C-alpha cells in the first residue's frame, strides 16, 4: 500500500462504511496491518463529543459544531492516528478534516477557507495523505439512509452544497483525491481503490 493514512469521504448515505470494511479485509488478507477509525469519535473523548454532535437532544450552534469536530479530531490524531502510523499500522478513516470543510465550511456556510485553516490548526497540519471521495446525488443517498442523526437529517439543499464543497476540494487537491461514482457497484469501486492505493486484490 502506497500510503499510511487514507480517508473516505462523501455525503451521508454514500456507502463509505461498506467500502472501508471490504478494504480492511483485503489488507488483512495481504497481511497489511490496518485500523479503521471513525469521525466523529475513535477515542473515549471523541465518542463523548460524538454524542454531543449527533444526538437529536442538543441544539448546536454552527461554530460550536465546527469547534467540537476540531476538538475530537485533535484528540484522535494525537492519541490514535499518529501512534498507529509510527507502529506501521495503516489508517483507514471514515471521514476526516475534509468533512468539516465540506459540511461546516460550505454546508453551514462558515467559510471553506476559514474552516480549512481552523482544522489545519487542530490537526497540526496532519491531513490524510489520500482521500477517496464517494460522490453521489443527495436525492439518491438520502434515500439509502436508515436512521439519520442530527446533522444527517437536514434538508436536501444542505447536502447539495456539501457535495459541491467536496468537488471543490477534489479539484483543489486533485493529486491526493480519487473521486468515485458511489452509484457504481461496490466491487468495481473497490477495484479502483486497490489499484490507486497499490494493493493486490487477491
Interface with ligand TYD, residue 94, by CB under 6 A: yes
CA 4 to CA 92: how far, in whole Å? 9
Could you tell me the smallest distance in angstroms from the CB atom of residue 128 to ligand TYD?
12
Q: Where are the alpha helices (DSSP H) in the chain?
A: 16-29, 44-54, 62-76, 82-86, 97-100, 112-122, 138-144, 156-172, 186-197
Please say which residue, 104 or 189, places its beta carbon nearer to ligand TYD.
104
Q: How many CB atoms lie within 10 A of CB 6?
A: 25
Interface with ligand TYD, residue 80, by CB under 6 A: no
User: Are 1 and 50 spatial neighbours (Cβ–Cβ below 8 Å)?
Assistant: no
User: Are 135 and 181 spatial neighbours (Cβ–Cβ below 8 Å)?
Assistant: yes
183 CB-near residues (< 8 Å, 6+ apart): 136, 137, 140
Interface with ligand TYD, residue 95, by CB under 6 A: yes
Could you tell me the smallest distance in angstroms from the CB atom of residue 74 to ligand TYD?
12
- Contact region for ligand TYD (CB under 6 A) — 28-36, 82-90, 98-106, 132-140? 98-106
CA 69 to CA 96: how far, in whole Å? 10
Buried b (16+ CB within 10 A) or exposed e, 159-185: bebbbebbeebbeeeeebbbbbebeee
Q: Which of 30, 67, 152, 176 binds ligand TYD (CB under 6 A)?
A: 152
Could you tell me the smallest distance in angstroms from the CB atom of residue 158 to ligand TYD?
10
Could you tell me the smallest distance in angstroms from the CB atom of residue 88 to ligand TYD?
25
Interface with ligand TYD, residue 100, by CB under 6 A: yes
Could you tell me the smallest distance in angstroms from the CB atom of residue 198 to ligand TYD?
26
Using CB positions, name the residue nearest to ligand TYD: 103
Chain contacts with ligand TYD (rule: CB under 6 A): 12, 17, 39-40, 54, 69, 94-95, 99-100, 103-104, 149, 151-152
Amino acid at each position: 500500500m502506497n500510503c499510511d493514512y487514507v480517508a473516505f469521504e462523501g455525503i451521508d448515505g454514500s456507502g463509505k462504511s461498506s467500502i472501508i470494511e471490504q478494504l480492511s479485509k483485503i489488507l488483512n488478507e495481504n497481511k497489511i496491518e490496518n485500523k479503521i477509525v471513525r469521525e466523529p469519535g475513535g477515542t473515549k473523548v471523541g465518542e463523548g463529543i460524538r454524542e454531543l454532535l449527533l444526538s437529536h437532544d442538543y441544539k448546536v450552534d454552527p461554530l460550536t459544531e465546527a469547534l467540537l469536530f476540531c476538538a475530537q479530531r485533535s484528540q484522535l490524531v494525537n492519541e490514535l492516528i499518529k501512534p498507529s502510523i509510527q507502529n506501521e499500522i495503516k489508517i483507514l478513516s471514515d471521514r476526516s478534516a475534509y468533512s468539516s470543510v465540506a459540511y461546516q465550511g460550505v454546508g453551514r456556510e462558515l467559510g471553506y477557507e476559514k474552516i480549512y485553516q481552523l482544522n489545519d490548526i487542530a490537526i497540526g497540519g496532519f491531513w490524510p495523505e489520500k482521500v477517496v471521495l464517494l460522490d453521489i446525488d443527495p436525492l439518491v443517498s438520502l434515500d439509502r439512509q436508515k436512521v439519520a442523526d442530527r446533522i444527517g437529517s437536514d434538508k436536501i439543499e444542505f447536502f447539495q452544497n456539501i457535495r459541491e464543497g467536496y468537488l471543490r476540494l477534489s479539484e483543489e487537491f486533485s493529486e491526493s483525491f480519487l473521486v468515485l461514482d458511489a452509484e457504481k457497484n461496490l466491487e468495481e469501486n473497490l477495484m479502483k481503490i486497490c489499484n490507486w492505493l497499490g494493493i493486490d486484490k487477491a
